């Protein structure tokens, strides 16, 4: 992971403020009880066009609002509102490199008491320069199957990015890292493959690609959705959403994690067993190349997924956006 760089600004309290002013108290409900939801987006720098493209922001913010609904949060923003405010925020920051964006909605009341009603939601958003998420993403990860099980839909809904649920991911990831593995595969309560600590999973076996269905307690990933579409429409590969047994990962020919953070990260070993030849597979390489071109705005067909941050003449002096949100 890239060295952490603190942002200069944050969208907080309905406006863009210096990051140092975006503060909460230690009694904040979300800090004490995990009552928050978050999102993760990337923006990709295209050097040829001197432009920064946010990848699928409306889709990401639609899911963000759906996550908020799961926590009974009523947020006064549309996906388009969020996209505009994010664009303004990045312009204020002046980033001209790949970035990671973190929107957060949280209950900010400073009270004692577990509940989702009669509490007030707050929204924040930051954008920071960001490279790779984990280790060995390019050349292949060595992962293990976790002893921790994935949270169930009737415990904490996995289809929402609910902050408190990620303690489950932290248990799995830390144990794996301390044991010398790069990442982890987490099973659901039925013993079937669910996902990584914070990523969806795909495998290639018996001539077809497969990924766990959303009913197996996986996050409804935007990158996951993108990859399924590209496999079917651009590469003409067979891709099925189906339940995957644990032992299938030991017999797969190719595997990779997908997500905004990890992007497309190859898995080449699982529990000291090689995946296929033990090298990054040809399919993963081809998909990664296709995906990279699309997210950087180089594909006319999928250009609508890429939201430009800067004006058409970004070298000209930019007018800083107003501090007040559209809402």
| CB within 8 Å of 266: residues ≥ 6 apart | 137, 138, 139, 140, 141, 254, 255, 256, 280, 281, 284
The answer to whether 103 and 61 have CB atoms below 8 angstroms apart is yes
- Any idea what DSSP says for residue 234? T
Rg of the chain in Å (alpha carbons) = 20
> What is d(CA 144, CA 272) in angstroms, rounded to the nearest whole number?
8
Q: Which residues of 177-196 are buried (b: 16+ CB within 10 A; e: fewer)?
A: beeebbbbbbbbeeebbbbb
C-alpha 95/C-alpha 80 separation (Å) is 21
Q: With CA atoms as reference, report the closest residue to 205 among 177, 178, 163, 242.
A: 242
From the candidates 8, 23, 161, 320, give the one annotated as an active-site residue. 161
Cα-Cα-Cα-Cα dihedral sign, residues 212, 98, 51, 18: positive
**Catalytic annotation on 161?**
yes
Greatest extent of the chain over all pairs of C-alpha atoms, in Å: 57
Q: Where in the sequence numbering do the catalytic residues fall?
A: 161
């Amino acid at each position: 992971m890239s060295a952490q760089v603190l942002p200069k600004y944050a969208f907080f309290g309905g406006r863009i403020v210096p990051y140092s002013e975006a503060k909460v108290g230690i009694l904040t409900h979300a800090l004490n009880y995990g009552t928050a939801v978050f999102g993760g987006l990337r923006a990709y720098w295209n050097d040829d066009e001197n432009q920064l493209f946010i990848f699928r922001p409306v889709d990401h913010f639609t899911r963000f609002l759906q996550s908020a609904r799961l926590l009974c949060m009523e947020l006064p923003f549309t996906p388009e509102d969020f996209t505009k405010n994010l664009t303004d925020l990045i312009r204020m920051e002046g980033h001209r490199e790949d970035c990671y964006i973190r929107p957060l909605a949280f209950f900010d009341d400073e009270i004692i008491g577990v509940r989702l009603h009669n509490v007030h939601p707050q929204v924040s958003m930051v954008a920071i320069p960001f490279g790779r998420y984990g280790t060995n993403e390019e050349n292949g990860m060595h992962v293990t199957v976790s002893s921790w099980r994935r949270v169930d839909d009737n415990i904490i809904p996995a289809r929402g990015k609910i902050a408190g649920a990620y303690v489950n991911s932290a248990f799995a990831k830390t144990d794996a890292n301390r044991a010398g593995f790069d990442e982890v595969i987490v099973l659901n309560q039925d013993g079937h493959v669910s996902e990584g600590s914070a990523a969806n999973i795909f495998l290639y076996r018996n001539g077809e690609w497969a990924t766990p269905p959303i009913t197996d307690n996986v996050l409804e990933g935007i990158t996951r959705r993108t990859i399924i579409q590209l496999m079917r429409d651009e590469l003409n590969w067979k891709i099925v959403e189906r339940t995957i047994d644990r032992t299938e990962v030991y017999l797969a020919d190719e595997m990779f994690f997908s997500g905004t953070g990890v992007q497309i990260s190859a898995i080449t070993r699982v529990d000291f067993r090689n995946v296929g030849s033990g090298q990054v597979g040809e399919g993963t390489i081809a998909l990664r190349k296709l995906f990279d071109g699309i997210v950087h705005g180089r594909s006319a067909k999928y250009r609508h997924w890429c939201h430009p941050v800067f004006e058409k003449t970004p070298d000209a002096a930019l007018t800083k956006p107003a501090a007040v949100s559209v809402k």
